[in-house]
């Protein structure tokens, strides 16, 4: 019996060693700042609530990377494509007069349709530039964001709560409280336990999306997509349509991103337009890498762990730093720290990719 | 091969595909002129000239990494940051290092910083082989994060700064000052202070390089044309005598004559317009009212327009020329040849005994150093520094510019850089007008511009990869 | 002529326990053309790797024996040592940079630096690599080398777009340009050339030899060997068979030496299997396949139900392209009929649906998902085409586990469990997983390519026995292999492929000479035997 115990202990060490570097590093940082926060008088439940809040609004953006990574097109650096589709869906549905939960449901359906359609085109593009997907993807996202800048300016919507006070065009931020959609998912079955705020509706959406994704990758099509990502030659020899699988994966990815921005918008209480989507892909990619995903392999667990740690870190760093560092430098420093960590993490993933790849 | 000169459908298709980006930009600029009457030849030329001299070195910094197979180095942002850091240091100590001397010191300080940054970036590129393009984009963001932490926090918290210094964030007395302000001026040069009641102030670094020697546009144009003329003739002679020495081997006679004639025409035009201006200034009028120039007889409108163009910063122009010449010289050196070998085929280069990793690092270092210098030139022209954001778009704009000039991820030349500088900035200048015309909104131009920048990068890179993939596939075709 | 330039003295080499060269000794004389011939795996490339000090040799423990150049023992640790010793090689795969001129390619990393004051200064300041290059001199040198080969193309032409024959000459010119070239190794130089290009290459080889440069000519074309070589050395299974003067031998004898007597070994079973009455399971007409390095250029054959049909031939001749093409993995043209049904080509799925399975020659790249478990690999193809192992649309772990365990038992796959990653298995067990995957598809036609490549004897026997068993249960099997002995041991008929075409179809008990001649592309075996 004693032998078994020894083995167990060894496997614990092994299990710890198995945790990817990115998870350990960000996890340690999270703990450090958490402790720093507790020492400086923040309550545990407050910090955890903040972490959970950002987790809820970011999880779907991070989840959108799973299908594209699994299909071998790499992390979805063109996330803005999905996001602008979600924004467009919301804007149109609001203009059509929907409010409250009806708005969320209809906008989600429209977002999924729009997202899938653009994901189809984007998937075709990824097939045309096979081998350099990641070099092309960010610029596709940037360019689409800019095009939609023009769309927001010129879209013929005259709803007084959506357009600029002066002149034409939609506002940079459309507050959702006019439409009774502010925090609507967050407030659905909202409860507090020991001061910990649980945004039930938001979390239900995230959990359902994660479970569906998990199930999808256990279906024939999902397994086919995974095989395409792992070894396209094997997949082809087994009768999987490689190009079609990659297109489908990117359709799902784009649709999830489109859905993600709806959750995001209600979670903050307003829709952000114009330059907002531009750089969102990078934190989303960082999330999934923190969770242990690589450029070629990702799963739902990576999403959950990574999003919680990385976005949670950012959520608690802001208040804690603001209090700890006097002179206003604290608030300003969080952005740069986020930038350094997020992009450092992506570089880490990229460097591992070429080692493991060819 | 016999019907080389016949333009068939296939040839036109390839031509269009190869030059699509350039053509679209050209079309866009023409459109801008058509829909807007705000552009006069002189204001337009002025704007382009300013941007040409401002961005020249930054765009040229991209050529060598392309040659070494690293693709388009968005990571010149890292070099730009080195440049900004050196300016922050020198400007902070402006009493010690005023004017042109201070600016030269910036170059001196920026160089070792850029070498270090370039070395680290190069190491990173070696670790991310095959993904350099995305790595270079991300490394720019990463460096930005580190740089911001440095100027916001490290400066002040670790490196002590003077309370109340105009570059340091203002804090109440007794509080430890921390961080550099979000923007600061580089200080007017001595020449620009006269008449503003600032004679006793120390000269700053703004336009210190530009103002060393300014030449009237027509003369500069004539000088460049003469140099171009000599270059074309000498090249033609070498091509005829010893064709193995050049990369260009057969230039058709008509093309040569056309180029020569163009140079001649420019020189003739310069002489004509400077003569008419001289005639007008010194013989006809003593107190010229520049706005009524057209009323005078015998003065062509074009000459009038030309006279309104600002004087050209000769030294800055010479620096750009020197960097361009260096790039060409570099291709003729052993290191340059190694870069080209590595760039074309890493495997063959390794087998032939070339140290691929080292060569790539050196190429990255050169690019980063040039970018740092380019940034200093950029900022001395601007005259003020937006500390947190100024480096941000350097990578995108420079890459977009060289791509518009006809470069690809695998091929870039000084010619691409020069054409791109002009065409890209022409787009930049006309886009607000185009935006206003089509969307009736001043902001539209901004989005249009952003779209053009990222669009050109995406489309150029995409087309390049698509073509390469197609060529590779064709090799696996049945014959 | 009789002076020895290079001498191999009892050279042996083994990779782990696998001995690939056994006590090989022969010499190469100054100014001779010395042909080197042998089947795949006979040891030619290992011998050349040793001669050039390739890292693969030194990283696996070096070799035994010695090599002497002009009586001096050579100590070659890298290809650059070989170059310094005056030994050059032209590989089958060209080492040319397409965007460079001929001269730049010839001088690759041996560029000449200009001697000028400026260069002295810059090299002092910025290092040696900042010296400018003397393109004039480089062009001149290149010209001289090209002239030696009587090649009158301009030395500053870009390599891009040159005909393949010219590229070959550029490669040779590069070796000639290296100072003090004494020995030039040409690896299958004529394989990629047209007939007239090959002729001029052979002429150039003669000219070079006349200048005193020795040439080692690796080729499978017996005709060319007898036409240009002075002597020929034959290797078989890592051993030296013989070195002979070409004038004392003929193609027939060389072919026989090459194949040896090993063909008729271990064939005890089913010698009398006859399939003349069975229906045709697979018929292939005018098949062209664009598989790189294994192009098929118009192949025609028929396989009857239950038959084991062998496809043999030397590497690079196109034998592997046939199965890959039929399975739709490379662009293919022609007519393929399965069980009388004409099949659409370039559609892998249609072939799989028709009950055709394929065990690829390339286990790691095509045959396996090396990061996934054994059970995942085994079920995957069947899951995808037959929707098996699914429950309510989702993967049925239980069914998969049971099936995988059964397969592991049936095929004796040595593993820790069915969850082990296939990347961790030995070659033989990986191959068994590939076979298990194919069998899970329940195919009626099975293509297996190189089923025993790189696996140990026990696994080899098990796989061959398994194929026999499957065949006797009525499965039609098309086995492609580089090992003639293995083909002869289980196949009912064997087609020999050379240069993308079927040279002939032989029974397994045909004479080794016939096999040898056919592998060299000689069609009229009977005629050759008589002459």
- C493-498 sheet: strands from edge to edge: C356-359, C445-449, C476-480, C308-312, C493-498, C501-506
- Tell me the residues of B at the C interface, defined by beta carbons under 8 Å apart: 242-245, 249, 329, 332-335, 337-338, 340-341, 344-345, 348-349, 351-354, 475-479
The pairing of beta strand C445-449 with beta strand C356-359: parallel
pLDDT of residue C96: 93
How much is the average pLDDT of B364-390?
95
| Cβ contact B327:C84 at 8 Å | no
Residue C504: helix, strand or coil by DSSP? Answer: strand
Mean pLDDT of A20-30: 91
Residue contact B439–A143, C-beta within 8 A: no
Of C199, C228, C249, the residue that ends a domain is C249
- Domain boundary at C195, C218, C249, which? C249
pLDDT < 70: residue spans in chain C = 1-2, 261-272, 525-526, 528-531
Enumerate the H helices of C66-116 as residue ranges.
79-84, 102-106
Residue B376's pLDDT band (cuts 50, 70, 90): very high
**Distance (Å) from the alpha carbon of A137 to chain B's nearest alpha carbon:** 8
Task: Please report, for residues B348, C6, C118, C152, the alpha-carbon distance to residue C139 in angstroms, rounded to integers and kept in the order given.
Answer: 21, 32, 22, 13
Query: Is 80 exceeded by the pLDDT of residue B289?
Result: no
Neighbours of C350 (CB within 10 A): 15
**Domain housing C422:** 364-442
Looking at the fold, whether C402 and C292 belong to one and the same domain comes out as: no
Are residues C432 and C448 both part of a single domain? Answer: no
Least confident of A11-20, A63-72, B212-221: A11-20
Give tens-digit pLDDT for A157-174: 888 888 887 777 888 999
Domain ranges for chain B, please list them.
Answer: 35-212+334-473, 217-307
* pLDDT recorded at residue A286: 95
Q: Which residues of B touch C54 (CB under 8 A)?
A: none
Q: Which one of B130, B152, B176 has the shortest CB-CB distance to A357?
A: B130
Instruction: Identify whether residues C463 and C351 lie together within a single domain.
Output: yes
Answer whether C331's CB lies under 8 Å from C346's CB: yes
For residues A152 and A170, the answer to whether their CB atoms sit within 8 Å is yes
CB pairs under 8 A between B and C: 79
- Residues in B closer than 8 angstroms to C97, CB to CB, are 341, 344-345, 348
- Encode pLDDT of A169-222 as tens digits: 888 999 998 888 888 888 888 888 888 888 888 999 999 999 999 999 999 999
Does C325 fall in a domain?
Answer: yes
In a domain, C172, yes or no: no
* Sequential DSSP letters for B36-102: -S---HHHHHHHHHHHHHHHHHHHHTTHHHHHTT--S-TTHHHHHHHHHHHHHHHHHTTTTS-HHHH
A228 to chain C: closest CA residue: C369
The pTM assigned to this predicted structure is 0.91
SS3 C178: coil
pLDDT reported for residue B285: 57
**A346: closest chain B residue by CA:** B138
Q: For residues C524 and C456, state if they share a domain.
A: yes
| Nearest CA-CA distance, residue C418 and chain B, Å | 35
Cβ pair C236, C42 in contact under 8 A: yes
Question: Domain check: are C342 and C458 in the same one?
Answer: yes
Instruction: Decide which of C414, C442, C470 is a domain's last residue.
Output: C442
**Would you say residue C201 lies in a domain?**
yes
Same domain, C347 and C461: yes
Q: What average pLDDT score do residues A76-91 get?
A: 96
Residue B329's closest chain C neighbor by CA?
C132
pLDDT attached to residue B1? 38
Q: Is residue C134 part of a domain?
A: no
Give the pLDDT score at C272.
Answer: 61
Q: Which residue has the higher pLDDT, C319 or B164?
A: C319
In this structure, the answer to whether residues C385 and C484 fall within a common structural domain is: no
Cβ contact C373:C422 at 8 Å: yes
Q: In this complex, is the C-beta atom of C292 within 8 Å of any C-beta atom belonging to chain A? A: no
Give partners of B (≥3 CB pairs < 8 A): A, C
Do C350 and C267 fall into the same domain?
yes
Q: What is the mean pLDDT of residues A58-78?
A: 95
Question: Nearest Cα to A313, choosing from A17, A15, A25?
Answer: A25
Residue A1 has pLDDT above 60, yes or no: no
Instruction: Kindly tell me if the per-residue pLDDT of A357 is higher than 50.
Output: no
The answer to whether residue C272 is domain-embedded is yes
Are C109 and B337 a contacting pair, CB within 8 Å?
no
- Coil, helix or strand at residue C506: strand
Confidence of residue A2 (pLDDT cuts 50, 70, 90): very low
User: Do residue C8 and residue C46 come from a single domain?
Assistant: yes
Same domain assignment for residues C271 and C343:
yes
Rounded Cα–Cα distance for residues B179 and B383 (Å): 21
Non-local (6+) Cβ contacts of B168 within 8 A are: B156, B161, B162, B177, B178, B179, B180, B181
User: 3-class DSSP state for residue A194?
Assistant: coil
Contact by Cβ (8 Å): B461, A132: yes
Number of domains in chain C: 3
Q: Enter the tokens of residue A293.
A: 């995903």
Residue C427 confidence (pLDDT)? 85
Confidence grade of residue B27 (pLDDT, cut at 50, 70, 90): very high
Pick the most confident of A190-199, B30-39, B357-366, B467-476.
Answer: B357-366
Q: Which residues of chain A does B428 touch, with a Cβ-Cβ cutoff of 8 Å?
A: none
Select from C111, C127, C331 the Cβ nearest to the Cβ of B477: C331
Q: Does C98 touch chain B (CB under 8 A)?
A: yes
The per-residue pLDDT for range B185-214, each reduced to its tens digit, is: 888 887 777 766 666 678 888 888 998 898
CATH number for C503: 3.40.50.300
Q: Which residues of C touch A218 (CB under 8 A)?
A: 394-395
Q: Which domains does chain A have, with CATH numbers?
A: 21-356 (1.10.3470)
**Does A59 have pLDDT greater than 60?**
yes
**How far lies B132's CA from each of A354, B271, B336, B453, C505, in Å?**
10, 49, 20, 20, 52
- Residue C135 maps to a domain: no
Residues C458 and C345 in one domain: yes
Q: Which two tokens stand for residue A314?
A: 């950012």
Number of A–C residue contacts, CB under 8 Å? 63
Give domain status of residue C403, yes or no: yes
């Amino acid at each position: 019996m004693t032998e078994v115990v020894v083995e167990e202990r060894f496997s614990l060490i092994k299990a710890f060693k198995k945790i990817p570097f990115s998870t350990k590093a960000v996890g340690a940082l999270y703990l450090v700042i958490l402790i720093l926060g507790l020492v400086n008088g923040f309550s545990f439940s407050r910090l955890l609530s903040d972490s959970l809040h950002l987790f809820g609004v970011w999880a779907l953006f991070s989840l959108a990377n799973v299908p594209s990574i699994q299909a071998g097109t790499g992390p979805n650096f063109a996330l803005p494509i999905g996001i602008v589709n979600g924004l467009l869906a919301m804007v149109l549905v609001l203009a059509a007069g929907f409010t409250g939960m009806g708005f969320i449901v209809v906008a989600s359906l429209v977002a999924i349709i729009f997202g899938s359609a653009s994901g189809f085109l984007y998937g075709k593009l990824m097939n045309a530039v096979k081998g350099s997907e990641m070099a092309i993807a960010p610029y596709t996202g940037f360019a689409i964001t800019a095009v939609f800048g023009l769309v927001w300016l010129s879209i013929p919507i005259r709803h007084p709560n959506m357009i600029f006070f002066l002149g034409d065009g939609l506002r940079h931020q459309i507050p959702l409280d006019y439409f009774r959609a502010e925090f609507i998912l967050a407030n659905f079955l909202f409860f507090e336990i020991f001061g910990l705020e649980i945004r039930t509706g938001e979390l239900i959406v995230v959990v359902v999306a994660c479970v569906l994704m998990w199930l999808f990758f256990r279906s024939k099509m999902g397994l086919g997509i995974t095989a395409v990502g792992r070894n396209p030659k094997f997949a082809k020899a087994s009768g999987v349509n490689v190009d079609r699988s990659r297109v489908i994966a990117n359709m799902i990815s784009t649709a999830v991103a489109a859905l993600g921005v709806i959750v995001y918008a209600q979670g903050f209480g307003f829709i952000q337009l114009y330059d907002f989507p531009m750089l969102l892909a990078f934190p989303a990619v960082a999330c999934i890498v923190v969770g242990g995903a690589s450029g070629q392999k990702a799963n739902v667990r990576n999403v959950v762990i990574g999003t919680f740690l990385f976005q949670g870190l950012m959520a608690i760093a802001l208040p804690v730093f603001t209090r700890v560092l006097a002179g206003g430098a604290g608030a300003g420093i969080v952005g740069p720290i986020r930038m350094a960590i997020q992009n450092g993490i992506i570089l880490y993933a990229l460097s591992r990719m070429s080692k493991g790849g060819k | 091969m016999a019907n080389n000169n016949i333009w068939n459908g296939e040839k036109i298709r390839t031509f269009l595909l190869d030059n699509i980006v350039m053509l679209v930009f050209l079309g866009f600029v023409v459109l801008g002129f058509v829909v807007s009457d705000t552009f006069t030849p002189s204001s337009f030329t002025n704007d382009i000239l300013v941007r040409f001299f401002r961005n020249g070195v930054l765009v040229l910094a991209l050529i060598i990494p392309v040659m070494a197979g690293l693709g388009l180095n968005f990571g010149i942002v890292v070099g730009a940051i080195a440049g900004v850091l050196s300016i922050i240091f020198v400007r902070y100590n402006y009493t010690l290092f005023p004017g042109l001397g201070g600016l030269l010191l910036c170059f001196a300080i920026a160089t070792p910083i850029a070498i270090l940054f370039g070395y680290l970036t190069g190491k990173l590129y070696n670790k991310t082989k095959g993904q350099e393009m995305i790595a270079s984009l991300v490394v720019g963001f990463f460096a930005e994060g580190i740089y911001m932490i440095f100027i916001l926090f490290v400066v002040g918290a670790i490196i002590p700064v003077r309370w109340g210094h105009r570059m340091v964030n203002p804090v109440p007395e007794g509080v430890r000052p921390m961080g550099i302000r979000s923007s600061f001026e580089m200080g007017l040069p001595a020449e620009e202070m006269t008449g503003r009641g600032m004679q006793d102030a120390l000269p700053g670094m703004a336009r210190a390089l530009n103002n060393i020697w300014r030449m009237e546009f027509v003369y500069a144009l004539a000088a460049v044309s003469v140099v171009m003329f000599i270059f074309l003739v000498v090249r033609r002679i070498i091509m005829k005598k010893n064709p193995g020495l050049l990369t260009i081997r057969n230039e058709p006679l008509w093309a040569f004559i056309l180029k020569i004639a163009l140079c001649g025409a420019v020189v003739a035009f310069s002489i004509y317009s400077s003569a008419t201006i001289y005639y007008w200034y010194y013989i006809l009028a003593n107190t010229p009212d520049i706005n009524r120039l057209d009323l005078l007889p015998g003065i062509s409108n074009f000459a009038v327009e030309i006279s309104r163009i600002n004087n050209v910063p000769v030294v800055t122009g010479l620096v750009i020329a020197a960097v361009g010449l260096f790039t060409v010289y570099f291709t003729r050196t052993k290191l340059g040849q190694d870069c080209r070998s590595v760039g074309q085929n890493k495997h063959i280069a390794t087998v032939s005994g070339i140290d691929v990793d080292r060569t790539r690092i050196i190429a990255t270092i050169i690019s980063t150093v040039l970018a740092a210098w380019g940034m200093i030139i950029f900022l001395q022209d601007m005259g003020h520094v937006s500390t947190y954001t100024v480096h941000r778009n350097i990578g995108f704009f420079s890459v977009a510019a060289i791509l518009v000039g006809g470069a690809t991820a695998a091929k870039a030349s000084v010619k691409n850089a020069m054409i791109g500088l002009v065409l890209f900035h022409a787009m930049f200048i006309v886009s607000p007008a185009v935006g206003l015309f089509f969307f009736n909104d001043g902001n539209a131009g901004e989005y249009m511009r952003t779209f053009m920048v990222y669009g050109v990068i995406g489309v150029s890179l995409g087309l390049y990869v698509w073509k390469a993939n197609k060529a590779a596939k064709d090799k696996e075709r049945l014959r | 002529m009789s002076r020895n330039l290079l001498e191999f003295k009892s050279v042996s080499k083994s990779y782990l326990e696998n001995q690939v060269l056994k006590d090989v000794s022969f010499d190469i004389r100054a100014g001779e053309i010395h042909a080197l011939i042998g089947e795949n795996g006979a040891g030619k490339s290992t011998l050349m790797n040793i001669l050039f000090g390739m890292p693969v040799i030194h990283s696996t423990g070096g070799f035994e024996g010695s090599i002497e150049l002009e009586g001096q023992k050579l100590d070659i640790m890298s290809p650059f040592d070989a170059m310094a010793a005056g030994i050059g090689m032209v590989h089958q795969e060209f080492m040319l940079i397409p965007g460079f001129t001929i001269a730049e390619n010839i001088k690759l990393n041996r560029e000449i630096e200009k001697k000028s004051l400026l260069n002295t200064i810059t090299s002092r300041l910025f290092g040696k690599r900042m010296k400018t290059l003397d393109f004039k001199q480089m062009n001149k040198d290149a010209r001289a080398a090209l002239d030696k080969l009587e090649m009158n193309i301009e030395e500053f032409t870009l390599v891009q777009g040159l005909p393949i024959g010219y590229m070959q000459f550029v490669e040779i010119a590069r070796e000639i340009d290296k100072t003090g070239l004494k020995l030039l190794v040409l690896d299958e130089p004529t394989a990629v050339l047209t007939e007239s290009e090959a002729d001029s290459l052979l002429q150039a080889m003669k000219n070079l030899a006349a200048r005193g440069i020795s040439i080692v000519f690796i080729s499978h074309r017996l005709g060319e060997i007898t036409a240009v070589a002075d002597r020929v050395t034959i290797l078989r299974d890592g051993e030296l068979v013989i070195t002979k003067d070409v004038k004392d031998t003929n193609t027939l004898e060389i072919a026989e030496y090459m194949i040896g007597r090993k063909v008729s070994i271990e064939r005890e079973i089913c010698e009398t299997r006859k399939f003349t009455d069975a229906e045709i399971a697979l018929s292939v007409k005018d098949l062209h396949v664009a598989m790189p390095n294994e192009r098929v250029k118009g192949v025609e054959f028929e396989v009857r139900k239950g038959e084991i049909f062998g496809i043999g031939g030397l590497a690079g001749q196109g034998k592997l392209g046939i199965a890959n093409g039929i399975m739709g993995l490379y662009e293919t043209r022609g007519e393929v009929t399965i069980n009388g049904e004409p099949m659409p080509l370039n559609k892998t799925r249609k072939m799989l649906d028709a009950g055709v399975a394929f065990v690829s020659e390339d286990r790691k790249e095509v045959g396996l998902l090396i990061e996934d478990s054994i059970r995942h690999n085994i079920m995957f193809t069947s899951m995808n085409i037959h929707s098996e192992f699914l429950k309510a649309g989702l993967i049925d772990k239980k069914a998969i586990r049971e099936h995988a365990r059964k397969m592991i038992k049936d095929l004796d796959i040595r593993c820790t469990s069915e969850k082990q990653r296939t990347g961790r298995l030995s070659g033989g067990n990986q191959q068994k997983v590939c076979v298990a995957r194919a069998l899970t598809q329940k195919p009626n036609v099975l293509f297996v390519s190189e089923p025993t490549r790189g696996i140990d004897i026990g696994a080899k026997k098990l796989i061959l026995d398994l194929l026999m068993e499957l065949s006797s249960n009525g499965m039609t099997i098309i086995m492609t292999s580089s090992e003639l002995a293995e083909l002869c041991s289980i196949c009912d008929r064997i087609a020999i492929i050379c240069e993308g075409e079927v040279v002939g179809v032989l029974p397994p008990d045909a004479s080794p000479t016939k096999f040898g001649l056919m592998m060299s592309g000689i069609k009229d075996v009977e005629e050759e035997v008589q002459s």
